[in-house]
Structure 1
Amino acid sequence: MVVDAWMQHGTVRFLQHEMLDSLWRWTGKKPPEQEIPVQETVKAMDGGGVDVGLISAWYGPEGALVSNDEVASFVAAAPDRLKGIASVDLRKPMEAVRELRRCVNELGFKGLRIVPWLWERPPTDRLYYPLYAECVELGIPFCTQVGHTGPLRPSETGRPIPYIDQVALDFPELVIVGGHIGYPWTEEMVAVCRKHPNVYIDTSAYTVRRYPPELVRYMTQDRHHKVMFGTNHPMITADRALVGLDELGLGDEAREAFLEGNARRVFRL
């Protein structure tokens, strides 16, 4: 099995948002004019050998770019292949907690994702803390982005130290998944991952051949590493993301943990 820990099945309003202009420029593609059929995302997963993809909602200050109910409808169209990750309006803590409960208890979602740069609030902001407590109670991970931002927004909120480090100290029971590797602070992210037993890294937004050497050393030298595969689909597809995997030199146990084991445990798949 291969699990993709960070995907989007985006709506047109999300994929055409001006903040993603830089990403489309890098990929040489243009955002779609019409809604994409779920089967297109499943087809892309098949092309890269991905069995299960975790697709997330996106909420920002302007509202839902991909709503939780839209994600639920996408999952319903391919329930054996797609699993939902919730998002919420960070500015309304109690409404956000109630919505998270609904997503997990009624919709079967597997985690919560909030992208700090979208709100320009680091993960240590007080508005996150009720959600961290609820994630612990619900037994789901908190997923976020670490590292610089490709979209045209400030990058400071993605620093692993002090932000992820402090959250892990305040909530040692909280499982945290830092997506997008943490570059250019990859060494910091690896250090935080080694320090805290419930902190993980996912490789979304990077192809295998672009993994920083600090990350590769961690994955190859520690068969119990806490790195999981992700693409950031549709910006990077699985067939591109995994090219060169055999060249990393991962042992069987480390490879299994990377491609499926860590994600299966964290997201309770």
Structure 2
Amino acid sequence: MIVDAWMQHGTVRFLQHEMLDSLWRWIGRKPSDEEVPVDVTVAAMDSGGVDVGLISAWYGPEGDLVSNDEVAGFVAVAPDRLVGVASVDLRKPMEAVRELRRCVNELGFKALRVVPWLWERPPTDRLFYPLYAECVELGIPFCTQVGHTGPLRPSEVGRPIPYIDQVALDFPELVIVGGHIGYPWTEEMVAVCRKHPNVYIDTSAYTVERYPPELVRYMKQRGHKVMFGTNFPMITAERALRGLDDLGLEDGQREAFLAGNAQKVFSL
């Protein structure tokens, strides 16, 4: 089984946003100017052998780019393959908490994702803290990006130390998933992951051939907390997993990476 921990089924307003221009330039493609059918995303999962994909909403200072209700609609098309991940508007803390409750209790979403660079606020900003408390109460993980920012936004807020480390100290019960491996601070991210039992890493936005050596060394340890992700549609699962056999992972390490850790964290 393979679980993709970080995907998007993007709307046109998300895919064509100017902040993503750098990503489309790097991969040599242009975003669609028409809404993409959910079947296209599922077909890409099939091509890469992905059984379940977690697709997230996107909210930023200008509003929603992919709304929670849109994500719920996508999931409804392929409920056996797609799982919803909520996002919220940080500027209105109580409305954000209520919306998160709705997403989990009514829409069946399995996590919250807020991308700090989109808000240009670090994860230790006070506006995040009511959401951390609610994630603990709801029993869901908080997902975020660590590492530099490929889109045209500042990268400082993606540093694992001090930000993720401090949040994990303040909320030891909170399960945190740091997506995009933390590069160029991957060693920091691995250190934070080792230090805190509820901190995990996902490999979204990186192909196997680009995994830093310190991440691969950690994945070869017993009980590693790394899970697979693509950042689809920027990278497909087929491309992201190319060369996995060359890493030399043992069966248990490989299973934890491809599915086991995500099944545990997202209660799949």
What TM-score do the two structures reach when normalised by structure 1? Answer: 0.99
* Equivalent residue, structure 1, for 2:146: 146
Aligned to 1:84, the other structure's residue is in SS state: strand
Q: Deviations over 1:117-163 (max 9, x none)?
A: 00000000000000000000000000000000000000000000000
Listed as ranges, the matches of 1:94-173 within 5 Å are 94-173=94-173
Q: Following the alignment from structure 2 to structure 1, what is the Cα–Cα distance between the partners of residues 215 and 75?
A: 32
**Pair 1:181 & 2:181 matched:** yes
**Paired residue type of 2:233:** P
Percent identity of the aligned residues? 87
**Paired residue type of 1:232:** N
List, as ranges, runs of 4+ consecutive aligned residues in structure 1 with deviation greater than 3 Å.
none
Q: Any conservation in 2 of the 1:223–1:251 contact (CA below 8 Å)?
A: no
**Paired residue type of 1:95:** E
**Pair 1:5 & 2:5 matched:** yes
Q: Following the alignment from structure 1 to structure 2, what is the Cα–Cα distance between the partners of residues 33 and 191?
A: 42
Q: Following the alignment from structure 1 to structure 2, what is the Cα–Cα distance between the partners of residues 100 and 32?
A: 29
Aligned to 2:264, the other structure's residue is in SS state: helix
* Equivalent residue, structure 1, for 2:259: 260
Q: Following the alignment from structure 1 to structure 2, what is the Cα–Cα distance between the partners of residues 8 and 38?
A: 11
**Paired residue type of 1:243:** R
Q: Following the alignment from structure 1 to structure 2, what is the Cα–Cα distance between the partners of residues 245 and 55?
A: 23
Aligned to 1:140, the other structure's residue is in SS state: coil
* Equivalent residue, structure 1, for 2:203: 203
Q: Any conservation in 2 of the 1:55–1:82 contact (CA below 8 Å)?
A: yes
Query: Residue 64 of structure 1: CA displacement?
Result: 0.3
**Paired residue type of 1:126:** R
Aligned to 1:217, the other structure's residue is in SS state: helix
Listed as ranges, the matches of 1:36-47 within 5 Å are 36-47=36-47
**Paired residue type of 2:121:** R
Q: Deviations over 1:206-254 (max 9, x none)?
A: 000000000000001x121000000000000000000000000100110
Computed over aligned residues only, the root mean square deviation of the Cα atoms, in angstroms, reads 0.3
* Equivalent residue, structure 2, for 1:48: 48
Q: Following the alignment from structure 1 to structure 2, what is the Cα–Cα distance between the partners of residues 23 and 229?
A: 20
**Paired residue type of 2:101:** R
Q: Following the alignment from structure 1 to structure 2, what is the Cα–Cα distance between the partners of residues 16 and 52?
A: 26
Q: Following the alignment from structure 2 to structure 1, what is the Cα–Cα distance between the partners of residues 64 and 9?
A: 14
Report the count of equivalent residues. Answer: 268
Aligned to 1:99, the other structure's residue is in SS state: helix
5+ residue gaps, structure 1, are none
* Equivalent residue, structure 2, for 1:28: 28
Aligned to 1:54, the other structure's residue is in SS state: strand
Q: Following the alignment from structure 1 to structure 2, what is the Cα–Cα distance between the partners of residues 267 and 126?
A: 25
Aligned to 2:174, the other structure's residue is in SS state: coil
